[in-house]
Amino acid sequence: PGTSTLEQLEKRHICRVLQEVNYNKSKASELLGIDRVTLYRKAQRYGINLRGGQIASEGGQKEGRARGNSLPR
């Protein structure tokens, strides 16, 4: 109940960093120390909306426009 999984902690950290850099994916990936493609994959996995706005609930279900994320081409 009071504990978080590593995935939950990672998701929250990614969300905080994205908000801090106003959803600039290049800056966020640099601060997180990961490649942009990795950021896109993690966002897709965790249901994080990379355009700002709503994020997925703790249960992992997507809300808002979170389904619109796609990997860069």
Q: Give dist(CA 55, CA 47) in Å, integer.
A: 7
Residue 16 has pLDDT above 50, yes or no: yes
Share of the chain above pLDDT 70, in %: 68
Half-sphere exposure of 7 (CA within 13 A, CB side): 12
Q: Give dist(CA 71, CA 10) in Å, integer.
A: 19
Q: Give dist(CA 17, CA 48) in Å, integer.
A: 12
- Please answer whether residues 58 and 8 qualify as being in contact, where contact means their C-beta atoms are separated by less than 8 angstroms: yes
pTM of the model: 0.68
- Structure tokens, 35: 């490649």
State residue 66's pLDDT score: 41
Residue 72 has pLDDT above 60, yes or no: no
What is the average pLDDT across 37-46?
Answer: 97
What integer best gives the mean pLDDT of the chain?
80
pLDDT tens-digit readout, 18-28:
999 999 999 99
